[in-house]
Amino acid sequence: MLVMMKQDVSADEVEKVKEKIRALGYKPHEIPGIQRIAIGITGNSGRIDPDVFLSMAGVADAVPVSKPFKLVSREVKPENTVIRVGKSEIGGKELTIIAGPCSVESRAQILEIAEMLRDMGVKFLRGGAFKPRSSPYSFQGLKNEGLEFLREAADKTGMHIVTEVKDTETLSIVAQYADVLQVGARNMYNFSLLEKLGELKHPVLLKRGLSATIEELLMAAEYIASRGNYNIILCERGIRTYETYTRNTLDLNAVPVVKKLSHLPIIVDPSHGTGAWDLVIPMAQAAIVAGADGLMIEVHQDPQAALSDGFQSLRPDKFRYLIERLRELAPHVNRTISHGSPVLVK
């Protein structure tokens, strides 16, 4: 159910509707819009009688939401959501570029790559410290030490950190260091983790599960939103199909489909989506043409020596080439892209 308020509604009238929702045992979610305020209701198992709200002052309409995801749907909020991270935005006109190694491997590695990326205009530094690996014998990440190296690199360069949170046990430590909390594909169905993320204010980068439908991705986002955290960025990172030539099948259909169904920003990860460095550049450009709000790209100084995902990582020179192509492309899709900035010391 969505309660739509009149354009000239007062704060008191909004509060009364929220109180009514709480009194019925449900949770109100105030959704500010350009035209009007709407209040989403979650926590109900059955139908709610719209008449309960239609008689209240300031209420324009009360409509049932037909989808299994409500708060993240366009039905509830027609305008695109723009998420603020420090002085940067995700989901606005400027394309968001998130880049860095698959894993943080050493202090020197992450400090060096952060400076290279910052000089190319990248504002978001990625790197895994807690790595969910398919094999228990693969490198599992530098853990707490990796978080410290990431923070140092980000503070020195003025960048924001995007790093994965692997489980509920390590959530509080990762949340102390990260600016954006990444939920990996293997965790998209980890509902306890999603619920805990819903209680924080941190932006969450939610990656599509290995075999998840678009609707399941949106329902996973709804788990986070239903607890009160609406700062969610979706990420298409390829799905499992019968195709074996590529690591995953990058489903670019997901971009316009998500744009139609949801107000949340969506970015694309062509590194995991293809699993091959030489496919990353064409698919990154295709993602932007399809309407993605940004990209997540794995970049490594020496991909052959990388401790994880070297085969799909771009060398810095190839990444620079991609950024140059994106600079040419951006105006054709009515987007902008940040230019290299001078050293920012916080």
The site for Mn ion (CB under 5 A) is made up of 102, 309
Choosing among Mn ion, ligand PEP, none, which partner's interface includes residue 184 (Cβ < 5 to 8 Å by kind)?
ligand PEP
Minimum distance from residue 239 beta carbon to Mn ion (Å)? 16
Beta strands of the chain (E only): which ranges? 2-5, 27-31, 38-42, 59-63, 83-85, 88-90, 96-100, 124-126, 160-164, 180-183, 204-207, 232-236, 266-268, 294-298
Choosing among ligand PEP, Mn ion, none, which partner's interface includes residue 129 (Cβ < 5 to 8 Å by kind)?
none
Give the whole-angstrom CA distance, residue 215 versus residue 219. Answer: 6
Residue (58 or 303) nearer to Mn ion, CB: 303
Is residue 247 close enough to count as binding ligand PEP by CB under 6 A? no
Is residue 207 close enough to count as binding ligand PEP by CB under 6 A? yes
Give the whole-angstrom CA distance, residue 305 versus residue 278. Answer: 17
Task: Tell me which stretch binds ligand PEP (CB under 6 A): 19-27, 183-191, 274-282, 320-328.
Answer: 183-191
Is residue 166 close enough to count as binding ligand PEP by CB under 6 A? no
- For the chain, the residue count is 346
Give the whole-angstrom CA distance, residue 133 versus residue 193. Answer: 18
Give the whole-angstrom CA distance, residue 108 versus residue 119. Answer: 17
Spatial neighbors of 284 by CB under 8 A, at least 6 apart, are 268, 270, 295, 297, 322, 326
Task: Give the count of residues interacting with ligand PEP (CB under 6 A).
Answer: 8
Choosing among ligand PEP, Mn ion, none, which partner's interface includes residue 237 (Cβ < 5 to 8 Å by kind)?
ligand PEP
Q: Which helix (H) or strand (E) holds 268?
A: strand 266-268
| Amino acid symbol at 318 | K
Minimum distance from residue 313 beta carbon to Mn ion (Å)? 8
User: How far is the CA of 124 from the CAs of 100, 217, 241, in angstroms?
Assistant: 8, 23, 30
Minimum distance from residue 247 beta carbon to Mn ion (Å)? 10
Q: Which of 20, 227, 237, 335 binds ligand PEP (CB under 6 A)?
A: 237
Q: Which of 28, 128, 203, 275 binds ligand PEP (CB under 6 A)?
A: 128
Q: Which of 28, 58, 100, 184 binds ligand PEP (CB under 6 A)?
A: 184
Give me the residue whose beta carbon is nearest to ligand PEP.
Answer: 184
Q: Per-residue DSSP letters for 136-165? A: TTS----HHHHHHHHHHHHHHHTPEEEEE-
Residue (104 or 264) nearer to ligand PEP, CB: 104
Residue (158 or 184) nearer to ligand PEP, CB: 184
- Given the rule CB under 6 A, which residues bind ligand PEP? 102, 128, 184-186, 207, 237, 272
